[in-house]
């Protein structure tokens, strides 16, 4: 959903000595929070603001690290956040998240969420002082208005005032109408966000018409709550308002002026189902109507014959043939109808799931690039797994293909943000790459004191302090086809593709002893290995983009996730105990990819100079990358 489809305005009261509130938004996440003191400690006044900002910061951190954002996961993130609220503060916390056209709402403490849909208005969720989170979800419709209110806000603004303000107004106009009522009171805990949803762009007062039909919302709470429809809620509120003349409720707001008389008692119902149950299909003729059409067609054909001119046996054959024809046509029809219904249901499910992930990615693009990328990739995967299930010339496939193109464009845009402009530097800035320029060898490694390089004859060390060279290990037929070199804690490691093992050369007083790094029983095909990296664990990079991880010689589960493009012809891998990520030189895609040490994607750095790059290293402080390309050393800063 483009940003122009969502308009919003905020109302926040001035803080007082005993209460504070804030209206917050980040992307498509919105929240109003108020904190009210339950003690008379005057020294706590300034602390309300600090504590409130900490709570909102915690919500943002918990929310934007969620891999999947749905009713249960967001509720769990909120559960973690509210643990930071001290017991001597009374909170009112109302949150909503909009993914595509799906609305998720949550309340902890007192508060309300009011929905205006067409000419009908009702509370879709209302909180209480009980220590539980209440939640609901459902689909938004064109020109819906949603109002998130803290407990104090709903106490200050009478329902009749709120109802009248929502009549044919934009969120900004509604805020202008209600704000004076809030600011004239010394209630620091009153805040609200007014949200307007439009399928066709930004909401204007001319856009709002009383023609929208209601959509249900599903409600869930952590504690069992008696189910109540909005109709019951409305009547209860109406009865209460009749007793309070200053808040007298105009029953006419629940009817459309031009509606037939028999429909004027309709109410919005938000009971029952979740978003997946509200996928609508175009109106179709019922099966009985379609069967009748076929029967009439057959009858017309038979009407052309004159049964009276046929003998009895021919009339019998004709009748039997007609029956068979009807049965065959009906069977074909029901088969097509069944398949069409299944295809439509599958399309609705696939398209909506992919759309939600896509819109989620767009919402996160400016806030958390890695999470946005994960959402785009999840959306792409949903489509790619199901695209072939629809005919190539079908409307469904066309829509999915268009959405897939939008996803690819968003991924491409995120890749452009990762472009870097390397600067050429003196080779002396990198001991490793300087050694590679001066010595002909395939593999180099280093520790704090030395740089090592590997040849067919042995392993040579170069002192970083005085540049002295010394062959420390002679190859006495220990390895025949090397596939990587590593150094860690004074020990040196050589991957031998011919024997499918990693040789560990252990430093000793009289030289180096050797052993098979792999634990007993551990086996791996290393014929396609291209490099190793060590940070305590040992990582083996393969030419096909796989990475195997070993700890103390035992293989661990490791898989790469979150890449928009698979690794192509990677040649080097970097790991260090001082740095939280592992880095891969992905020559085929002209980039260096940074992965978290569980294999999940973190970021990448792209430049045409990386395609022919021969080797690289990350600076010890983790702020720069140096790489060798065309016998020149380049560097760029990490972000």
Secondary structure (DSSP) of 537-598? EEEEEETTS-EEEEETTEEE----B--SS---SEEEEE--TT-SEEEEEEGGGTEEEEEETT
Q: How far apart are CA 472 and CA 495, in angstroms?
A: 17
Q: What is the pLDDT of residue 26?
A: 86
Give residue 234's pLDDT. Answer: 39
pLDDT for 331 equals 72
Query: What does the pLDDT read at residue 38?
Result: 82
pLDDT at 235: 39
pLDDT at 573 over 80: yes
Q: What are phi and psi of 484, to 5 degrees?
A: 165, 150
> Residue 322 in 3-state DSSP?
helix
Report the side by side order of strands in the sheet with 458-463.
443-446, 450-454, 458-463, 469-474
Contact residues for 63 (Cβ-Cβ < 8 A; gap 6+): 29, 69, 74, 77, 97
Contact 115, 81 (CB under 8 A): no
Q: Is the pLDDT confidence value at 194 over 80?
A: yes
Question: Residue 509: is its pLDDT beyond 50?
Answer: yes
pLDDT at 618 over 70: yes
Dump strand ranges (E) for 140-283.
144-150, 191-197, 217-221
- Contact of 494 with 482, CB cutoff 8 Å: yes
In the chain the domains, ranked by start, together with CATH numbers, are: 3-276 (3.60.40.10), 287-416 (no CATH), 423-637 (2.120.10.30)
User: pLDDT by residue (tens digit) across 530-545?
Assistant: 999 999 999 999 999 9
Of the CA atoms within 13 Å of residue 246, those in its CB half-sphere come to 3
User: Which range (40-49, 71-80, 371-380, 590-599) has the least confidence?
Assistant: 40-49
pLDDT category of residue 410 using cuts at 50, 70 and 90:
confident
Distance CA 576, CA 622 (A): 10
Range of lowest pLDDT (81-85, 328-332, 335-339, 425-429)? 335-339
What pLDDT shows up at residue 540? Answer: 98
* Predicted local confidence at residue 514, as pLDDT: 92
Question: Given this model, what pLDDT does residue 611 score?
Answer: 96
Q: How many other C-beta atoms are found inside a 10 Å radius of the C-beta of residue 508?
A: 9
Tell me the pLDDT band of 393, cut-offs 50, 70 and 90.
confident
For residue 232, the SS3 value is helix
Q: Is residue 389 scored above 80 in pLDDT?
A: yes
State mean pLDDT over 351-356: 89
Mean pLDDT of 306-326: 70
Determine the pLDDT at residue 334.
64
Q: Which residue has the higher pLDDT, 564 or 36?
A: 36
Cα first-last separation, the chain:
28
Residue 622 has a pLDDT of: 86
SS3 content of the chain, % helix, strand, coil (to 5): 35, 30, 35
Q: pTM for the whole thing?
A: 0.49
Nearest CA among 363, 409, 354 for reference residue 2: 363
User: In whole angstroms, what separates CA 247 from the centre of its chain?
Assistant: 43
What confidence category does residue 222 fall into, taking pLDDT thresholds of 50, 70 and 90? very low
């Amino acid at each position: 959903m483009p940003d122009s489809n969502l308009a919003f305005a905020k109302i926040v009261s001035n803080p007082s000595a005993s209460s504070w509130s804030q209206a917050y938004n980040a992307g498509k996440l919105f929240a109003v929070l108020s904190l009210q003191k339950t003690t008379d400690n005057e020294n706590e006044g300034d602390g309300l603001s600090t504590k409130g900002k900490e709570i909102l910061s915690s919500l943002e951190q918990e929310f934007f690290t969620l891999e999947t954002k749905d009713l249960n996961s967001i509720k769990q993130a909120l559960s973690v956040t509210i643990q930071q609220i001290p017991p001597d503060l009374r909170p009112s916390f109302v949150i909503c998240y909009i993914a595509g056209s799906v609305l998720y709402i949550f309340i902890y403490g007192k508060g309300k969420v009011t929905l205006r849909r067409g000419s009908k208005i009702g509370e879709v969720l209302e909180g209480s002082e009980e220590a539980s989170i209440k939640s609901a979800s459902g689909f938004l419709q064109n020109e819906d208005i949603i109002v998130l209110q803290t407990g104090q806000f709903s106490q200050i603004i009478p329902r009749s005032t709120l109802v009248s303000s929502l009549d044919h107004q934009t969120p900004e106009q509604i805020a202008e109408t209600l704000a004076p009522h809030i600011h004239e009171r010394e209630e620091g805990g009153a805040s609200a966000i007014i949200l307007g949803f439009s399928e066709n762009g930004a909401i204007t007062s001319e856009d709002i018409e009383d023609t929208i039909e209601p959509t249900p919302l599903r409600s869930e709470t952590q504690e069992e709550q008696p189910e109540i429809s909005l109709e019951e809620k409305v009547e209860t509120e109406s009865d209460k308002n009749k007793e309070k003349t200053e808040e007298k409720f105009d029953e006419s707001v629940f009817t459309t002026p031009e509606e037939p008389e028999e429909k004027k008692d309709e109410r919005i119902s938000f009971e029952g189902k979740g978003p997946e149950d509200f996928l609508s299909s175009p109106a179709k003729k019922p099966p009985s109507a379609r069967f009748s059409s076929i029967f009439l067609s057959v009858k017309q054909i038979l009407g052309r014959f004159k049964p009276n001119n046929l003998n009895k046996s021919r009339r019998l054959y004709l009748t039997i043939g007609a029956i068979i024809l009807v049965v065959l046509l009906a069977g074909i029809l029901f088969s097509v109808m069944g398949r069409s219904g299944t295809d439509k249901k599958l399309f609705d499910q696939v398209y909506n799931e992919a759309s939600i992930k896509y819109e989620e990615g767009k919402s996160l693009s400016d806030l958390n690039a890695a999470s946005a990328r994960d959402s785009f990739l999840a959306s792409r995967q949903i489509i790619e797994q199901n695209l072939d299930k629809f005919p190539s010339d079908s409307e469904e496939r066309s829509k999915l293909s268009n959405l897939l193109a939008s996803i690819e464009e968003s991924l491409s845009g995120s890749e452009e943000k990762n472009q870097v402009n390397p600067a050429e530097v003196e080779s002396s800035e990198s001991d490793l790459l300087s050694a590679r320029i001066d010595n002909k060898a395939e593999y180099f490694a280093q520790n704090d004191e030395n740089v090592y390089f590997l040849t067919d004859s042995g392993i040579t060390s170069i002192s970083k302090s005085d540049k002295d060279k010394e062959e420390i290990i002679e190859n006495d037929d220990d390895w025949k086809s090397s596939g990587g070199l590593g150094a860690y804690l004074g020990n040196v490691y050589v991957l031998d593709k011919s024997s499918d093992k990693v040789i560990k050369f252990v430093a000793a007083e009289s030289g180096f002893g050797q052993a098979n790094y792999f634990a007993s029983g551990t086996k791996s095909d290393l014929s396609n290995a291209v490099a190793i990296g060590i940070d305590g664990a040992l990582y083996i990079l393969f030419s096909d983009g796989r990475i195997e991880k070993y700890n103390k010689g035992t293989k661990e589960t490791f898989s790469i996730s979150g890449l928009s493009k698979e690794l192509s012809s990677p040649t080097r891998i970097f790991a260090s105990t001082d740095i939280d990520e592992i880095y891969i030189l992905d020559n085929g895609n002209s980039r260096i990819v940074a992965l978290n040490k569980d294999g999940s994607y973190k970021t990448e750095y792209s430049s045409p100079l990386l395609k022919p790059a021969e080797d690289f290293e990350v600076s010890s402080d983790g702020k720069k990358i140096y790489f060798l390309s065309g016998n020149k050393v380049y560097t760029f800063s990490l972000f």
